[in-house]
Structure 1
Amino acid sequence: MAANTTLLRDAYDYVLRRFEAPAVNVPGIYHDLAHTRETVEAGRNIAEGLGLSEKEVIVVELACWFHDIGYLDSRSEHEQKSADIAETFLRERDVDPDTIKSVRGCILATKIPQNPENLLEQVVCDADLSHLGSPEYSRKNKLLRTELEKNSGKTFTRLEWLQLNIDFFRNHEFFTSFARRQFNQGKTENLISLYEELREKKTAKKKTKKKEKRPRKTAVWKEIWRCITEPPRAIMSASARSWIRRQTS
């Protein structure tokens, strides 16, 4: 027990130093220390809620601590980098090969689309995306959008971002029974909020398009009135003549 506590404390200290290092190459706005801590807490709660053994809970917590550490070095394939960093850390502390293999598997399983092959991997995957069912979802989602736009150079319209998130929600399911009980209600509420905002944005967009069309019609009426009130030499524009033909045909 004492050895496990020391290992977890060492893992926390290592991850903390890495995230707070002044020479971090790729600053995380969403993938940061706060997200890591929240994932560890969620992973521990899910693991204990499922009645996993102490050793299994340790594996889950270690994987959660390291699951995004590779993002500090590279956004591309950061799960692989995270697994490599975790393995090096654990080997240096003489952790047994089976535990190292389990931690690696849990980290690699978090790559989107998630593909866990056993219960421990399912727990870590559910912990990583637990914010989908959290009251903090909206705030976290804004952080993720800001990070993606900053790192990719691509700007999403609000409609594009809403549709992207709705599609992600519809294709996602929590793997463990505990996570479904814990997060599904909140996830449904967050999805409803996304749908409602999408509908509002589309309605507003339609209204804007209608307003944009009105000036063109008004301009035609002004042209007709000019031709009626000005001397006969006034010549009606082609657009006004075309509009009159459509109305009288």
Structure 2
Amino acid sequence: MDCLRAETYVLDLLRRHLAPTLFYHGPHHTLDVVEQAGSLARAEGITDTEELALLRTAAFYHDAGFLSAYQGHEAAGCALARQVLPGFGYSAEQIEKICGLIMATRMPQCPGDSHLAQILCDADLDYLGRPADFWPISQTLFEELTTRDLMSDETAWLELQVRFLSSHRYWTPTATARREAAKQERLAEVRQQLERL
């Protein structure tokens, strides 16, 4: 597996070809998920080099489907992975593992018992429990959805945030310990904003 070339390839595609109105799902989000997945994997005791490589590749490709689709982007990302990763030395079995990780991030998240899928799901939504950048990041998602006529106004957005934060769960002990308390604080803040409208 030439992981570095596989990563460079997809990151270049994302930087050159993603729609500029993907204010949330841009290359910055992909790089954040890669970083958080690595951090969580280390904290969760993942040491197998192949598992770490597959997780990292899945993090790089998890939203690559936005290059061709908004709805169903996970499946589109898997199609891209199946198309290009053989050229970087990934076996069919490794690619299917990567696609399983990518598909686990589909909402509502469903990682099952796969430790790597749980880590990727937690990395994907790590910002929900980050006090410093929850609000600016959630604003970019609001703008992205509004641009696509998928969100009508701020009230509808805050109501969606309450439902989403209330139903969301972190899957790994590390993410729960790091982020759950702060996520609950953000939920309280969202409810307060909703009451003020």
TM-score when normalising by structure 1: 0.73
Contact 1:28–1:72, Cα closer than 8 Å, also in 2:
no
Partner in structure 2 of residue 208 of structure 1 = none
Identity of aligned residues (%): 27
Amino acid in structure 1 at the alignment position of 2:140: L
For 2:104 and 2:35, the matched residues in 1 are separated by 18
Shift of 1:12: 2.6
2:78 aligned with 1:83, yes or no? yes
Partner in structure 2 of residue 223 of structure 1 = none
Give ranges in structure 2 of 5+ residues lacking alignment. Answer: none
Shift of 1:90: 1.7
For 1:99 and 1:109, the matched residues in 2 are separated by 16
For 1:88 and 1:154, the matched residues in 2 are separated by 30
Q: From 33, 52, 69, give the equivalent of 2:27.
A: 33
**What CA RMSD, in Å, does the superposition of the two structures yield over aligned residues?**
1.6
> Over residues 142-199 of structure 1, what are the superposed CA-to-partner deviations in whole Å (9 max), with x where a residue is unaligned?
1001111112x24432222111101001111001111111111221121121112122
For 1:27 and 1:17, the matched residues in 2 are separated by 17
Shift of 1:26: 6.9
TM-score when normalising by structure 2: 0.92
2:40 aligned with 1:46, yes or no? yes
Shift of 1:24: 4.2
Q: How many residues are paired up?
A: 194
For 1:155 and 1:167, the matched residues in 2 are separated by 14
For 1:154 and 1:20, the matched residues in 2 are separated by 24
1:10 match: secondary structure: helix
Runs of 4+ in structure 1 off by over 6 angstroms are none
2:34 aligned with 1:72, yes or no? no
Give ranges in structure 1 of 5+ residues lacking alignment. Answer: 202-249
Bigger mean CA offset, 157-166 vs 38-47: 157-166
Partner in structure 2 of residue 144 of structure 1 = 141
Q: From 79, 89, 94, give the equivalent of 2:89.
A: 94
Partner in structure 2 of residue 18 of structure 1 = 13
Structure number with higher relative contact order (C-alpha < 8 Å, ≥ 6 residues apart): 2
Amino acid in structure 2 at the alignment position of 1:171: S
For 2:34 and 2:151, the matched residues in 1 are separated by 31
2:189 aligned with 1:193, yes or no? yes
